[in-house]
Copies of this chain bind each other. A is one copy, B any other.
Amino acid sequence: MLDTALAGAAERIQSCLDTALAEAEPGPVTDGMAYATRGGKRLRGFLVLETARLHGVPAGQAAWAATSIETLHAYSLVHDDLPCMDDDDLRRGQPTVHVKWDEATAVLVGDALQTLAFACLARPDCAPDPARRIDLIASLARAAGIHGMVLGQAQDMEAGRAGRPLTLDEVIGLQRNKTGALIRWSAEAGPRLAGADPAALGAYAHALGLAFQIADDVQDVEGDAAETGKRVGKDEGAGKATFVGLLGLDGAKARAAALVDEAIAALAPYGHRAETLRQVARFVIARKS
């Protein structure tokens, strides 16, 4: 059931991406934008569509907000993979943009994807009321920029230079910014599109995001390259503080499970209608690892 829902959301998002990119001048940067947004679970976009559904927002409108967050996420991955950043050659089992093209193209692809994310939210078909669109844009800018994702990346870089491992609280704070902010925005997008209070879904996403990151660390230790599509044990090898390093493997798994329970508890106001979001939370720690 979750698989079907995820596949349906991914298809809707792809259709918006195709529309947005079809009118762009053909060339390596446009090709790179299409390439970088292809594949993946599109979990963030799914959260937008699913929380929009819970608030009675038409899927055709929510699809643009879902496309926006997937586009923004893709930009962050393309820049993250650059040689001067994480220097990753593989992403989802495929060559990264700077490997397939070159670094200059990858910089431009990421830049243009970020621009496109805001363009998607500014479209009239994203929400008829301009005030709703502005709310989404302002909150996305806050989640993505120096108060959110980029701050988390900066904190991550600083940690690498600090010469001492981060504490658990520091890693939690860093991840809340680096990966948590976009996940939270995604889950809050539904109520925002409806002009409703995003607090319950914000709490859900807050716990979900951290569980997701802990599960990622667990997978990094337990997985193998064929399954995760990236080099395994890389974070540990780079001397980065991970949840597994700080809590131990069993401790990390227990913490992730507790956070999943917390995420599910936050969905209470939505009753049985939020069953798919509960499945998403369970899926986060059930990923093959």
Contact = CB atoms under 8 A, between A and B. Distances in A.
Interface of A: 21, 23-25, 27-30, 33, 75, 79, 82, 84-85, 102-105, 107-108, 110-112, 114-116, 118-119, 122-123, 130-131, 133-134, 137-138, 141-142, 144-147, 150-151, 153-155, 157-158
Given A105-B154, A110-B111, 5 more contacts: A29-B146, A112-B150, A118-B141, A119-B145, A122-B138
A29 B147 CA distance: 11
For the complex, would chain A's binding face be called helix, strand, loop or mixed by DSSP majority? helix
A108 B130 CA distance: 30
Contact of A153 (B108, B134, B137): B108
B84 A150 contact: no
B115 A141 contact: yes
A25, A153, A154: most-surrounded residue (chain B CB, <10 A): A154
Contacts of A158: 27-28
22 contacts: A24-B151, A25-B147, A25-B154, A27-B151, A27-B155, A29-B146, A33-B146, A104-B157, A107-B107, A108-B153, A108-B157, A111-B114, A115-B144, A115-B146, A116-B146, A118-B137, A119-B138, A119-B141, A122-B137, A123-B138, A130-B131, A133-B134
Given A130-B133, A158-B27, A150 B85 contact: no
Contact of A157 (B23, B105, B115, B151): B105
Contacts of A27: 151, 154-155, 158
Most chain B Cβ neighbours within 10 Å, of A82, A104, A105, A131: A104
A203 B157 CA distance: 45
